[in-house]
Amino acid sequence: MDKGSNEVLLEIMGLHKEYDGITALENINLSIKKGEVVVALGPSGCGKSTLLRCLNGLESIQGGDIKFRNKSLINKDVNWQEIRQHIGMVFQSYDLFPHMTVMENILLGPIKVQKRNKFEVMEQAKQLLDRVGLLERLNSYPRQLSGGQKQRIAIVRALCMNPDIMLFDEVTASLDPEMVREVLEVILGLAKQGMTMVIVTHEMSFAQAVADKIVFIDKGSICEISEPDVFFTNPETERAKHFLNIFQY
pLDDT of residue 1: 42
Task: Determine the distance from the C-alpha atom of residue 91 to the mean position of all C-alpha atoms in its chain, rounded to a whole number.
Answer: 8
The 10s digit of each residue's pLDDT in 26-45 is 999 999 999 999 999 999 89
pLDDT of residue 248: 58
Residue 167: pLDDT over 90? yes
Q: Which of 82, 19, 65 is nearest to 220 (CA)?
A: 19
Q: Would strands 165-169 and 87-90 be described as parallel, antiparallel, or unpaired?
A: parallel
| Residues paired with 226 in a beta bridge | 214
The 10s digit of each residue's pLDDT in 108-146 is 999 999 999 999 999 999 999 999 999 999 999 999 999
Average pLDDT, the chain: 92
pLDDT of residue 249: 47
Which domains can be identified in the chain, with CATH numbers?
8-246 (3.40.50.300)
| Residues paired with 15 in a beta bridge | 28
Q: pLDDT over 70 for what percent of the chain? A: 97
| Residues paired with 213 in a beta bridge | 38
Distance, in Å, from the CA atom of 26 to the CA atom of 18, rounded to the nearest integer, reads 9
Task: Determine the distance from the C-alpha atom of residue 103 to the mean position of all C-alpha atoms in its chain, rounded to a whole number.
Answer: 22
The secondary structure of 20-36 as a DSSP string is: TTEEEEEEEEEEEETT-
Q: pLDDT over 90 for what percent of the chain? A: 81
Alpha helices, H only, 160-221: 177-192, 204-210
Distance, in Å, from the CA atom of 143 to the CA atom of 106, rounded to the nearest integer, reads 16
For residue 24, what are the contacts with CB-CB under 8 A and spacing of at least 6?
A: 17, 18, 47, 50, 220
For residues 106 and 157, is the Cβ–Cβ distance under 8 A? yes
Q: Among 21-30, 87-96, 131-140, 164-173, which is the least confidently predicted range? A: 87-96
